[in-house]
Amino acid sequence: MRFFEIINDLMRNYGLKLISFLAVLLIGWWIAKYIVWIIEKALIKSRLDVSVHGFMLTISGFFLKLIVLITAANIIGVPVTTFIAMLSAAGLAIGLALKDSLSNFAAGILLLIFRPFSVGDYIETSNFSGTVLSVQVLYTALNTMDNKRVMVPNGSLATSHIINYSIEPFRRIDKVYSAAYGSDVIKVKEVLMSIILRNDKIVEDRGVILGVSNHNDHSIDFDLKFWVKREDYLTVSYSVNEEVILEFEKNGIRIPYPTRDINLTLHKENNDDDTDFHIG
């Protein structure tokens, strides 16, 4: 009987507060989700980069639910100051345990603020290269050229060199082609320039650079630099290489390869019994 009396006293004294706590928690949780849904719709209509959307929705949902939890805790008699003090202590402990994750989190914010790349860009870092799929709270997802998914910590991205291949509409292709000594330099330049001029994917307005760059031991090197649209980079690079080989063969221009001259000296030695020849 004593047990039931204690239960009744607790329900009489705290039942209403408990019901209010649960009601605020459930309703507040639903309102928080609804607000996040409204924010998502607004982000879709906004001009903000797609990579920012997921990050902002995650942060918004976290803080809204935290406000609901503090409000509900205040109803059952937990002072806000006490709750904040508890959160601060817990935050300190979690921060020490997850310092690397917090570093990635802070780096993610910096990446979204300064935006060195966007979703869909092809980037290269110190260790990886690929197309950006998403910028998440702790990691950035990349898809490599051979279709592998790489999750790169935001901290390493924020502190490493990033090459963004997609930010500019045009890219320059730099080539070096070699011809053997004795080749007609003017003829070689004419052949190379004709290959460039008849390729309709090369942007001639941005200029073409062609000239002798080096005299090697076995070859004369020609620098060839020209511009293409970003999406045509690989296609044009491969096709020009193939055309150079075919046109050099057609015009009798020899592509050099390493050679070594060996000189043989014949020595004759006269002996009493026989004659030996030594090649040295």
Domain range summary for the chain, segments of one domain joined by +: 2-97, 115-164, 170-250
- Mean pLDDT, range 250-257, rounded to an integer: 89
Picking from 185, 230, 237, the residue whose alpha carbon sits closest to that of residue 212 is 185
Picking from 170, 165, 173, the residue whose alpha carbon sits closest to that of residue 142 is 165
Share of the chain above pLDDT 90, in %: 36
CB contact at 8 A, 123 and 132: yes
Please give the mean pLDDT across all residues of the chain. Answer: 81
In which band, very low, low, confident or very high, does the pLDDT at 195 lie, cut at 50, 70 and 90?
very high
- Main-chain dihedrals φ then ψ at residue 177, nearest 5 degrees: -120, 145
The pLDDT assigned to 173 comes to: 95
The pLDDT assigned to 280 comes to: 47
The pLDDT assigned to 7 comes to: 56
The pLDDT assigned to 277 comes to: 47
- Looking at per-residue confidence, does 190 or 269 come out higher? 190
The pLDDT assigned to 5 comes to: 58
Name which of 103-112, 150-159, 183-192, 203-212 the model is least confident about. 103-112
Is the confidence at residue 1, as pLDDT, over 90? no
- Mean pLDDT, range 228-243, rounded to an integer: 94
The pLDDT assigned to 92 comes to: 59
Predicted confidence (pLDDT) per residue in 105-124, tens digit: 778 778 877 788 888 899 99
Q: Please tell me the pTM assigned to this model.
A: 0.60
Domain 170-250 in this protein, CATH class: alpha beta
The pLDDT assigned to 83 comes to: 63
- Looking at per-residue confidence, does 46 or 38 come out higher? 38
Predicted confidence (pLDDT) per residue in 123-140, tens digit: 998 888 999 998 877 889
Share of the chain above pLDDT 70, in %: 74
Fold of 2-97: Helix Hairpins (1.10.287)
Predicted confidence (pLDDT) per residue in 7-21, tens digit: 565 556 566 677 777
- Mean pLDDT, range 207-228, rounded to an integer: 92
Architecture of domain 115-164: Roll (2.30)
Picking from 81, 68, 62, the residue whose alpha carbon sits closest to that of residue 27 is 68
Name which of 138-142, 232-236, 273-277 the model is least confident about. 273-277
